[in-house]
Amino acid sequence: MICKRMKNSWKENIYLQREELARKLHEPLAHLAEQCIPAWGEREQLDAILAQGFASIPYCAFLYCLSTDGIQICDNVGQAGLAPEHFGRDRSQRPYMKEAVPAWGFLLSDAYISLVGHRPSLTALQIVRADSSTLGYLGADFDLRDLPVTSELYEEPGYWRQVKGDPAIRGTVFQQCRVESPLDSNLEQALSILEELLTLRGVFQCQIHFSSSQVTIWTVDDPFRYRILDHEALSDPDICLVFPSRPYPNDATIPQHNIARILGIMQSLRFADPTIYLRTASINIFNGMVSLTFSCDGSHYMPYVEFLLKDTSFWF
């Protein structure tokens, strides 16, 4: 039996990429730090050592040396040469200086936004030691755009997630009442049209805005652009002629015959209660997920199977 390997979450992907980057950086930074020991405190000598060793640090934007209290004691050394304006700079309050350097003397910081370029960046710090005393740190800055991506793109989790919305809306939910929209007055026909588009016309994702009477769709023929169908389009079956006939994708997670059932439950949730009612909903046939946002501004993301198991009594 062949088991399908589960893809990592975004947090696991971050951990794996940081681990791989740390593995590549630790040894060359430690070697360069050793070369800095005899010249420690001598600005020009440190500049020369870092300039000579710059190419040995992969993906690096800048190198510099810091005293134990976070004051820069040499220039920034980069691909373009020296940046002397950074000499004497106090880096003690930067995010990477507030993290604890592990006992082995190497730290790869969490990502942060750089002061100069306002870019997502991270810093590696290597402790510089002479005998048993700490002289300071060798710092290496990296722009995240220069770093390789070493793992597959993560997948969205397939379990039910609930997200709370605007507290101001939740606080006044019982003071409101559903107002019938143009889409509501023709919802059964509109959902029949949407079923046709999802099952036979190449639409793989839709977001239904019940209150504003519009549906946003994405098609397999042009997946990078969305299209908006207003209530007029959703009341005219001729709209289906605009979209060429396409077979239902074999790799879709939601079976074709379940689309009508999902839309039918969404229709029930729209009309089931005058105060707590469905405001927006979405379907993605490849993710296999359904999303619901109610009038209380609470959102739910769940697998279609779980959605089909809930009747209206569960929600209300």
Is residue 2 assigned to a domain? no
What are the structure tokens assigned to 54, written together?
Answer: 């710059």
Place of tokens 């700079």: 89
- In the predicted model, residues of the chain with pLDDT beneath 70 are 1-10, 13, 149-175, 297, 312-313, 315-316
Residues 180 and 304 in one domain: yes
Q: Which of 92, 112, 146 is the last residue of a domain?
A: 146
For residue 63, give the CATH number of its domain.
3.30.450.20
Q: Tell me how far apart the alpha carbons of residues 291 and 278 are, in angstroms, rounded to a whole number.
A: 10
Among left, alpha and beta (phi > 0; psi -120 to 50; other), residue 59 is left
Is residue 196 assigned to a domain? yes
Range of the domain at 194: 161-315
- pTM of the full structure: 0.66
Is residue 107 assigned to a domain? yes
Q: Give burial (CB, 10 Å; 0-12/13-18/19+) of 65.
A: buried
**Quick check: 239 and 255 in contact, CB under 8 A?**
no
Beta bridge partners of 289: 284, 303
Structural domains counted in the chain: 2
Residues 6 or more apart whose Cβ sits within 8 Å of residue 302: 159, 160, 161, 289, 290, 291, 292
pLDDT recorded at residue 104: 84
pLDDT recorded at residue 17: 80
Angle at 53 between CA 92 and CA 147, to 5 degrees: 70
For residue range 222-256, what is the model confidence (pLDDT) as tens digits? 999 999 999 999 999 999 999 999 999 999 999 99
